[in-house]
Amino acid sequence: MNQRKVPTVIGILVLIIGLAVGIYLLQSRNIFKLGAKGETLPKDVRMTNITDSSFSVSWTTDKETGGFVSWGESEGRMDSVEEDELEENGFTHFVTIRGLSPTTTYYFKINSGANFYDNNGVPWQVTTGPVLNSITKANTISGTILTATGEPAANALIYVSVGGSSPLSTSASKDGSWVVMISSLRTNDLASFFTINQTKDVIEIAANLGPKGTSSAQIYLTSAKPVPPMVLGQTHNFKNSPSNKTDELPEANLELPQDATPTSKFTSDEKAIAEAKVVTIKSIDEGETVSSNKPEFFGEGPASTNITITVESDVISASVKVGANGSWVWSPPKNLTPGVHKITISWKDANGILKSITKTFIVQASEVPAFEATPSATPTSTPTPTPTTKPTSTPTPTSTVKSSPTATPKASLTPTPKATSTSSPLPGSPRPSPTPIQPVSGTGLPSIFLLILGVLLLTGGSVASYRLFLK
């Protein structure tokens, strides 16, 4: 009797093995598909610029790709979205989440290359600080970051911190320049502003352009206006750099010959003509703080001169013609985000030579109470570049990122991203809806073949057993 049951047992075993192998092959398709995700894996993930109402998230990738952050007030509901502020596809990524509540914990995941990543199976989290009094005096530092070949390192991530402070960050503009409002530094616990000793506290500066290289520098505040040019691939010690007395007006001594007449030979009209040969910005001083999100800029210049106005970090460009009275006026068409900005005026003089002037200014944050973030991705009044965001299929592999011992801000976080096993839902919002990723077509023929083979063997074994039983 036992011999008559052998074929049935074999059929069942083949069926089970076929199903197991088929499931494995179907799952391995996703594993093979995810094999290239190492290039889009978020590296050097940092939370910086933490205030009572906002914080920034930045990371790098080995491949130029897009990205965004999905966030919320609970681990189970991270359905608000904030897009990358830099290029749609790049090696560096910078996101600032605004409109938050003080002393509140927020959770987020990073979508990079259409795949969601978290911190070893759990979302990253950051807690905002308490509300502090307004900064009485704005103080900025600036500099330039270059590649090894001397070209501007556009979109390089810049991190600034002092021992015992919460780190600040920004990104380099197209010409490699950057500006950070150092007076907004907070202590590590975010409970108060950090007071810097201009001659004793060393400022740590780190630059990161992903696979194109990193750079670091140390400098005192008195020498950081501006910081000497930094070069990717190099470590700089600027602590012995001379102090920059930018807050003092330059002095000049003029000695006239004894036979010189003390009266000026210029008339007031001649002076006006001489001054009108260049375009000026009269509305703001270098490093000035403005309270309006749409400040009015004005200045003077030669009549009918075409000038180009560029504002960063919210990149806005416009062309304005100097009026017949020798003056010009312009306001940005949309609100500027609170923080440090740079305005550049460029024009061609009478000889056709391109000239430009640049000033840095600070847009002060609004004093209105912060509102609580809603579950949907409600756009704020702050204009940001809108890269195409895409949801992810179901990533499963675990990837590990290790930080390198560079002179980076000590308070920065470098967690280990890991692909989650489920896809986070995308919010419905007035933003451009993320386009669903179509699953990569594959083949289930091995599984189907083995399944059919198992069924046939099961059927054959049953028939053989039945015939033996009849005999």
Mean pLDDT in each 10-residue stretch from start to end of the chain (471 residues)?
A: 55 74 55 58 96 96 94 93 89 95 96 93 96 84 94 96 94 93 94 91 96 96 92 95 60 47 45 58 82 85 86 80 83 84 82 79 61 37 41 39 39 45 42 43 56 68 58 54
Q: What size, in residues, is the chain? A: 471
User: Any long-range contacts for 232-237 (C-beta under 8 Å, 24+ apart)?
Assistant: 232/145, 232/146, 232/147, 232/148, 232/153, 232/156, 232/207, 233/148, 235/407
- d(C-alpha 81, C-alpha 57), whole Å: 13
Burial class (CB within 10 angstroms; exposed 0-12, middle 13-18, buried 19+) of 290: middle
Burial class (CB within 10 angstroms; exposed 0-12, middle 13-18, buried 19+) of 464: middle
3-state secondary structure of 363: strand
Contact 232, 145 (CB under 8 A): yes
pTM (two decimals): 0.56
- d(C-alpha 336, C-alpha 321), whole Å: 23
- d(C-alpha 44, C-alpha 21), whole Å: 38
Domains of the chain: residue spans and CATH = 37-243+367-419 (2.60.40.10), 275-363 (2.60.40.10)
Return the pLDDT at 460: 65
H or E stretch at 48: strand 43-48
Identify the sign of the CA torsion 178, 182, 188, 189.
negative
